[in-house]
Structure 1
Amino acid sequence: MNSDRYVISRLSIMMFMQFFIWGGFFVVMGVYLLEIFQGEEGLNTIIGQAYATHNWAGLLAPVIVGLIADRYFNAERVNAVCHILGAGLLWYAAGITEPGVFIWVMLAYFMLYMPTLALVNAISFANIGDPDKEFPKIRVWGTIGWIVSGFVVAQTILGWVEVPFLTWFTGIESNIQTTSIPLYMSAIISLIYGLYSFTLPKTPPSEKGKKFSLKEALGLDALKLLTNKNFAVFSFSSFAISIPLAFYYARTNDFVAAVAFGEQSASFMAIGQMSEVLFMILIPFFLVRLGVKWMLLVGMLAWTARYLLFGAFPESVSLVIIGIALHGVCYDFFFVTGQLYVDKKAPKNLRASAQGFFNLLTYGAGMLIGNYLLGWWGDSISLDGSTEAGWLEGAFQFWIMPALFALGVAIMFFIFFWDDEVEAETLDAEGLSPISDSSTEEISPGTVG
């Protein structure tokens, strides 16, 4: 039986605001940090550490959800409190001028935000009748929210249509991305969203009375699956490919702002999310024709291609756009297909743990290392990411690192991964629901970023 349209509409609004908040400040945070901390020693490292805060929080999010929301309080109330408190931290962060303080405040913020990614999924699933059909319709509004936030911050839709909402409210006509306005904007929406969350359908704790297991919360029950050689290769590859992934999320916006789009860069970054939606729809088509191994391999090679385009042709606007548009292949072909592979390989009683373990390896450990690596690498080559001249001079050196890293992982995966059992299976395209499958466990900007 289908859910009430009113409930689906309210959950869609919830999902829209959930990701609008994140996209509103996260994409442009690198540009902002370059502006307010210019002249600071180790500026690239500061940016990497700031972006790593969401990975640290992502590692701990399952514990927080498992301890609190799953056992003691209604999910909608926990979600409300997290976003109201988070609004205060974002507002405070917008006035910070010391790098160390900013990083600690952002860590505190993401400790509140990251658990809510699981909470909004729980609220949705608990209040709809047919998750396979209805959840994708709700979840897609999260991606739309991320895209719209980019248009609002850039104050344009891909340079075609002006959307000067922030100028109307603030009176500031200069580059909004280099100011604290995106943080203030996200703080205000977070407060509104927090209050709205109190009115969401009641979602009582699903594990009330059940003993908490740290091993289960982190997905470590799935470690026994590593005895399978192919699953072990897949797991290591997932971890390793997530290291160069961090380079894209932390530095692409300030790169394209400097070499191509200026204050409109956040709008053009949304091309990546548009591409993601398109390729999610096409996953069943490609999966039937290519199979799991080649889908995963194409996804990894797309990262190499993207970084080579950025590094070798930073002066070409069209090739930079192609690099951004490759996000759909980069993310969907590897991460969404990877989640489908995990679901197929894991026994039914371990599927939730296996998906949690996949997230721990990728959005947690892999991207965490990647953010520290990109900071170290940027400072090692003395990258000046605040100017066009700096990026044109340092682009090849900076982007060649993740390009070669991704290529190395792809070669290793090609040589050692031969899962004949999965490749031999007939894949029913009609039965696949990639948006639904990929969204039930996700905790990262990869989903929408």
Structure 2
Amino acid sequence: MHIKLRLTVMNFLQFAVWGSYLTCIGNYLGAAGLGDHIAWFYSIQGVVSIFMPAILGIIADKYIPAEKLLGLSHALAGLFMLWAWFYGYSHPEGLSFAPFFTLYTLSVAFYMPTIALSNTVAFSILTRNGYDTIRDFPPIRVWGTVGFIAAMWFVNFAYITPGGWLGFSADAPDRFQYTAMQLLVCGILGLLLAFYCMTLPNCPVSKTVGKRSLSELFGLNAFALFKQRKMALFFIFSMLLGVSLQITNGFATPFITSFKGNPEFATTVGANNATALTSLSQISEALCILLIPFFLKRFGIKRVMLIAMLAWVLRFGFFGIGNPGGGLWMFVLSMLVYGVAFDFFNVSGALFVEKETDSSIQGAAQGLFMLMTNGIGATVGTLAAGAVVNHFCKWTEVMTPEGPASFLLGDWQATWLIFAAYALLVAVVFAVVFKYKHVPEAIGTVKH
């Protein structure tokens, strides 16, 4: 099989594993009695992202070839997720938080580092085979987003028929997006990817890592960038905007599904297909990546990041005023602006770090950027969002034509508008405080 095709398959499966549960596990947790703890299940991704990628990165650099470590990590993540599925399957009456959360955490702890590790594998294999990573990697990586979307669609429509066969429906009450079966899908895909990774070309360990200090290995040397006012402000605002990153991943599908508890919207396509509807966000994300070079050259990093912040305002605001009936178009707009909100911040921020930092610490600086956004920011934001949601909304059992079901009902409009107000406040302060002069020629030299 051609090298680029093999890496395409790897990326497809890498993100299909994540897409099988990331946006819909909230629905299952609510039905299983753990709805009040949704924020913890999403914040743990940020917690493990603080230290696990660095640890596995050191191991891949010095001890175990990256492709083998990638396979081992996916094997462990898949096995723990299958164990979590079996626990959920064995306890249909409801889950106990401690054992289920422990199994989930162990799976996530081994999965999250594979996001960076899979990039390392791809870069190493492409480089060793004479390819240009700047030109050849993006078309490979975009298939990761395709895999994420494909997994979302699968769990949205798939269910087990009374005869024990796999069926697909747009309104079956026991589709995978509502049950522990989404974890089974995740675990199986993870094990499949683990075996596949073991067949990839070898990525030799580095012979020079031992000459680096412990602080360099863990990327601590990048914290020296806080001595520069511009970089300090950039990382602080990265953390503040990172607060928004996981909010809709955690609560969008329980919110949209909650309309099934309202007779006016119970039978609408939107309320019954929350996971498929939110997949529009990932489609938008894939398309918006293509707009970044133009916007960076035309408007500069400050305005592009400001556009991202304002897009988060719209992302939350459209949720606050929309519904899956006549207001479905507002939900669709919320999904479409997500690509701008996510990509214009994450990708442009990474390019800014690359441009403004010395090559000797760029790897550590990128790690610090991820720490501030997906680590600290996303963790704090998800826990804070969970507190807001639990204040305004409660899991309530409602009688439906299929029988009793639990939905997260309450004042969702106030909840989303609070999130929108927060994003607007961050945007206003950023516009006033962050000083950066746009030089078109300089931005044009950034590698895309």
Q: TM-score range by the shorter chain?
A: 0.7 to 0.9
- 1:202: how far off? 0.7
User: Equivalents in 1 of 2:133, 2:391: separation in Å?
Assistant: 48
Preserved CA contact (<8 Å) 1:153 1:166: no
Corresponding residue number in structure 2 for 1:175: 175
- 1:428: how far off? 6.0
Matched residue type, 2:73:
C
Q: Are residues 1:63 and 2:54 paired?
A: yes
User: Equivalents in 2 of 1:111, 1:248: separation in Å?
Assistant: 21
Among 279, 292, 295, the residue aligned to 1:286: 295
Equivalences, count: 414
**Secondary structure of the residue that 1:202 maps to in structure 2?**
coil
Matched residue type, 1:426:
E
Among 6, 9, 23, the residue aligned to 1:10: 6
Query: C-alpha deviations, 1:75-129, integer Å up to 9, x for none?
Result: 1111111112222111111123212222111111111111211221111111112
Among 265, 270, 292, the residue aligned to 2:274: 265
Corresponding residue number in structure 2 for 1:109: 107
Preserved CA contact (<8 Å) 1:24 1:149: yes
Q: Are residues 1:406 and 2:423 paired?
A: yes
- 1:331: how far off? 0.8
Matched residue type, 2:424:
L
Matched residue type, 1:18:
Q
**Secondary structure of the residue that 2:441 maps to in structure 1?**
coil
Q: Are residues 1:143 and 2:141 paired?
A: no
Q: 1:75 to 1:169 in 2, by over 3 A?
A: farther
Query: C-alpha deviations, 1:241-295, integer Å up to 9, x for none?
Result: 1113221111112212333623422112111111111111011122222111111
Structural mapping, 1:387-406, within 5 Å: 393-406=410-423
Corresponding residue number in structure 1 for 2:41: 50
Among 124, 130, 133, the residue aligned to 1:131: 133
Matched residue type, 2:154:
V
Corresponding residue number in structure 2 for 1:226: 226
- Scaled by the length of structure 1, the TM-score of the pair is 0.86
Preserved CA contact (<8 Å) 1:218 1:357: no
User: Equivalents in 2 of 1:227, 1:312: separation in Å?
Assistant: 43
Preserved CA contact (<8 Å) 2:300 2:440: no
Out of 218-227 and 102-111, give the one that drifted further: 218-227
Matched residue type, 1:408:
L
- 1:179: how far off? 0.9
Q: 1:431 to 1:56 in 2, by over 3 A?
A: closer
**Secondary structure of the residue that 1:148 maps to in structure 2?**
helix
- 1:431: how far off? 6.2
User: Equivalents in 1 of 2:339, 2:120: separation in Å?
Assistant: 26
- 1:133: how far off? 1.3
Matched residue type, 2:248:
Y
Corresponding residue number in structure 2 for 1:343: 354
Corresponding residue number in structure 1 for 2:376: 365
Q: Are residues 1:312 and 2:321 paired?
A: yes
Query: C-alpha deviations, 1:168-218, integer Å up to 9, x for none?
Result: 844585332111111101111111111111111111223565156453344
Structural mapping, 1:210-225, within 5 Å: 210-211=210-211, 213-225=213-225
Q: 1:72 to 1:105 in 2, by over 3 A?
A: same
Out of 406-415 and 60-69, give the one that drifted further: 60-69
Query: C-alpha deviations, 1:347-371, integer Å up to 9, x for none?
Result: 1212111111100000000001112
User: Equivalents in 1 of 2:445, 2:358: separation in Å?
Assistant: 22
Q: 1:289 to 1:241 in 2, by over 3 A?
A: same
**Secondary structure of the residue that 1:245 maps to in structure 2?**
coil
- Scaled by the length of structure 2, the TM-score of the pair is 0.86
Preserved CA contact (<8 Å) 1:20 1:142: yes
Q: Could you tell me the percent identity over the aligned residues?
A: 29
- 1:381: how far off? 2.4
CA RMSD of aligned residues (A): 2.4
Query: C-alpha deviations, 1:9-47, integer Å up to 9, x for none?
Result: 11110111010011111111111101111xx6xx33x10
Q: 1:238 to 1:104 in 2, by over 3 A?
A: same
Corresponding residue number in structure 2 for 1:249: 249
Corresponding residue number in structure 1 for 2:435: 418
Preserved CA contact (<8 Å) 1:57 1:111: yes
- 1:312: how far off? 2.6
Matched residue type, 2:40:
Q
Q: Are residues 1:29 and 2:40 paired?
A: no
Preserved CA contact (<8 Å) 2:30 2:407: no
Q: 1:429 to 1:263 in 2, by over 3 A?
A: farther
User: Equivalents in 2 of 1:207, 1:49: separation in Å?
Assistant: 40
**Secondary structure of the residue that 1:49 maps to in structure 2?**
helix
- 1:390: how far off? 6.5
Corresponding residue number in structure 2 for 1:121: 119
Matched residue type, 1:395:
W
Matched residue type, 2:349:
G
Matched residue type, 2:119:
N
Q: 1:214 to 1:408 in 2, by over 3 A?
A: farther
User: Equivalents in 1 of 2:13, 2:237: separation in Å?
Assistant: 33
**Secondary structure of the residue that 1:244 maps to in structure 2?**
coil
Q: Which runs of 4+ in 1 moved over 4 A?
A: 164-169, 211-214, 385-392, 427-432
Preserved CA contact (<8 Å) 1:177 1:263: no
Corresponding residue number in structure 2 for 1:85: 76
Preserved CA contact (<8 Å) 1:230 1:416: no
Matched residue type, 2:115:
L
**Secondary structure of the residue that 2:382 maps to in structure 1?**
helix
- Structure with more strand by fraction: 2
Corresponding residue number in structure 1 for 2:63: 72
Out of 346-355 and 382-391, give the one that drifted further: 382-391
Structure 1: which 5+ runs fail to align?
Answer: 156-163, 434-449
Matched residue type, 1:84:
A
User: Equivalents in 2 of 1:99, 1:123: separation in Å?
Assistant: 36
Preserved CA contact (<8 Å) 1:67 1:212: no
Matched residue type, 2:275:
A
User: Equivalents in 2 of 1:240, 1:16: separation in Å?
Assistant: 31
Matched residue type, 2:137:
F
**Secondary structure of the residue that 2:244 maps to in structure 1?**
helix
